[in-house]
Every structure is written in C-alpha cells, then in structure tokens.
C-alpha cells in the first residue's frame, strides 16, 4: 500500500487493481460492515494489516471475495413469479432452444429452477449459463444438492420429475444438470460473450450503488437479443426504459440496443 490517502481508500485501490472487485460499486454501509467482520474475524486491526494478510495467499484473497458475496437463494424463490415466466417467454412467437444466463447465480438454485421450468413448458436443447463471483458457491452449484428449506418451493410435479432425494435433502437429476454450466465471473467487470434469449438477474442489483446499477443494466441489455427477456427480483425495477419495455411486474423485453 502507498502512504497517501486513507487506509480504506488504499485498500479499495489495491483490491480493484489486483482482482477487479470494486468496493465502491456496492452500498457503502453493508459492504464496509462485511469487510470489518472479515478483518476482525482474522484478528487484524487495520485495513493495512488485512491487505498484507490477503497478499500472502491466493486462498486468503479468494476466501475474502467469497465472504463479500451475498448468497441468499433458494429454488423457485417467489413461486408466483416463476409461474409467470412461461407467459413472458411466450411473447416470442416461436420458442426454440433458448440461451439463458443466470447472472449472480449463487449456489445454482435459480439456474436449476429455470432449467426445470423450460423443460416443463418448452422441451428442447436449451443452454443455461450460471455465473457468480463466489468460487465456493459455484463449487456447490456443480454438486447440485439442496436442503429441504432451499427446495421447499419446488412444485411437487417438478420434484418427482427432476429431483432425487438424498439423506440431507434433494439433488438435481443428472439429465437436468447437463443443461447447466457454471463459470466464475465478476458481474460488474465483464459480460459473457454471445447473445442470450433470457437473462435472470434477481435480487442482485439491490446491493449496488445507483451508478453501478446503471452499468449493470446496460451490460444486461447488450447481452440480450432484441426481444429477449430480463427477469429481475420482486423488489427491483428496470429504469432503463430506452432499452426495455415492461411485460409483467419483474419481466422486461429488450428493445433498442444501449
């Protein structure tokens, strides 16, 4: 670290240069609290000490980034909105194989939820990509095992068709897992190449600053094909009307390119 500026500013600068993860993109109070909890939990009294610790090992840095990620997810969260997803998709006259991106997918519950929904309503060779900044969450996503509480909202017909019981809960069947691929990604740092027909970015932007939300919305618009659908959380709104038109609450269709 350099000697100039506050330790917090120096810490943020070092982190973004090393990892691309910019703390200034997130709402400051909860983010600083999470950093402080990690710092004090490791026995450090300053951000300078914390950075020295993080530089000692890639594992330390990876654990820190994973700690900052917000991973609250479950299958079919807000079931009433999932029931509306096929209606939003049907706005496209012909529904062929869909290219889907679950952005900020956490431990994969959302990605597998969309896989089940598509196979129920639009059977086909769909391709689903799940991305997250949390490596530990992605590792769990690939295992595809969920507790009873994480899978409590799965429709019973889906549970019988797509899940298998385990001693500790439920696992996604192998044929469903084959539809979903996971990749590490900083959502505010890069966007997957290619064009998507459906993007799910639910309960992610609520943690960002307004400037970061605008950048994210533009990135999502660029990643969607014209007419593609964006599915956001129940408490989120897409204000970029120049790129999207509302379909149903929580669903938007891509219009003009950003």
Question: Looking at the structure, do residues 58 and 157 belong to the same domain, yes or no?
Answer: no
- pLDDT above 50 (res 122): yes
φ, ψ at 254 (rounded to 5°): -70, 130
What contacts 200, CB < 8 A, 6 or more positions away? 100, 101, 102, 103, 110, 114, 231
Determine which of 137-141, 150-154, 187-191 has the lowest per-residue pLDDT on average: 187-191
Question: Looking at the structure, do residues 124 and 209 belong to the same domain, yes or no?
Answer: yes
Question: Looking at the structure, do residues 174 and 140 belong to the same domain, yes or no?
Answer: yes
Residue at 222 is within a domain: yes
- pLDDT above 80 (res 1): no
For range 24-46, the mean pLDDT? 86
Count the neighbouring beta carbons within 10 Å of the beta carbon of residue 74.
Answer: 19
- pLDDT above 70 (res 3): no
What's the pLDDT at 96? Answer: 81
Question: Looking at the structure, do residues 152 and 231 belong to the same domain, yes or no?
Answer: yes
Count the neighbouring beta carbons within 10 Å of the beta carbon of residue 102.
Answer: 29
Question: Looking at the structure, do residues 248 and 121 belong to the same domain, yes or no?
Answer: yes
Question: Looking at the structure, do residues 21 and 56 belong to the same domain, yes or no?
Answer: yes
The string of pLDDT tens digits covering residues 200-251 is 999 887 778 888 888 888 889 989 998 999 999 877 776 656 788 989 999 9
Question: Looking at the structure, do residues 58 and 99 belong to the same domain, yes or no?
Answer: no
C-alpha–C-alpha distance, residues 182 and 60, integer Å:
22
């Amino acid at each position: 670290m350099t000697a100039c500026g506050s330790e917090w500013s120096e810490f943020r600068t070092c982190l973004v240069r090393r990892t691309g993860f910019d703390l200034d993109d997130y709402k400051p109070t909860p983010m600083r609290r999470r950093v402080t909890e990690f710092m004090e939990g490791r026995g450090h009294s300053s951000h300078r000490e914390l950075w020295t610790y993080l530089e000692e090992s890639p594992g330390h840095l990876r654990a820190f980034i994973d700690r900052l990620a917000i991973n609250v997810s479950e299958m079919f969260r807000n079931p009433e909105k999932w029931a509306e997803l096929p209606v939003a998709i049907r706005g496209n006259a012909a529904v062929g194989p869909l290219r889907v991106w679950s952005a900020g997918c956490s431990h994969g519950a959302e990605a597998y939820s969309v896989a089940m929904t598509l196979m129920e309503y639009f059977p086909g060779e769909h391709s689903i990509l799940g991305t997250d900044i949390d490596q530990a969450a992605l590792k769990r996503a690939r295992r595809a095992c969920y507790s009873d509480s994480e899978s409590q909202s799965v429709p019973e017909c889906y549970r019988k068709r797509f899940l298998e019981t385990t001693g500790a809960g439920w696992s996604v069947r192998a044929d469903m897992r084959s539809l979903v691929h996971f990749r590490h990604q900083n959502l505010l740092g890069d966007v997957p190449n290619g064009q998507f027909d459906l993007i799910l970015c639910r309960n992610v932007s609520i943690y960002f600053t307004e400037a970061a939300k605008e950048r994210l919305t533009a990135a999502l618009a660029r990643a969607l094909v014209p007419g593609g659908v964006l599915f956001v959380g129940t408490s989120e709104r897409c204000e970029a009307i120049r790129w999207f038109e509302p379909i149903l609450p929580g669903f938007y269709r891509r219009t003009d390119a950003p």
